[in-house]
Chain A
């Protein structure tokens, strides 16, 4: 059975801190790893990673994938209160003609002023 594990489950930091969120996986037919940010409603897309060792960056957020050790990290530098959200990791697998996503349970990040 495909499995995606995120850690920590929750994290409380102060504005300006740097955080690292972890995602490990065990899946068959791996195609990609995706990070989403979920505030109150729909998850919004952050990054998709398919190759090991290539960092993806968007502003203060960055992410990297290690396909040998089967994990990814999401870094957020100089955190702001607007970064407070649940961060979801999902692994894309190929099942027939559909690309499916298997989600982890998420990391709840709270950034205090």
Chain B
């Protein structure tokens, strides 16, 4: 069964450093997302991406964050200058419009990257 993959599974970095989290979405999916889950808190939407541009971003997704689809298979999240409060599990998800209802889809999640900022 196709699945979303993410690397690395755990990333440790120093405050102020740049990190790039990698995701390979399901191959025929067209919509891509990043979510994060701070320890003990709910999963929060960060950004959605379609047709090589951001569709929507949350207020969390400030200028320190960027996303890119550098080739036909990868989808990356870059944090330019990490802060302590960026420590969280970051989930990538992808979807196709599989419901038959306009714009409604099922999102499939990867296993996550645990980011620890020291």
Q: Do A and B come from one complex?
A: no
Query: B residues within 8 Å of A by Cβ?
Result: none
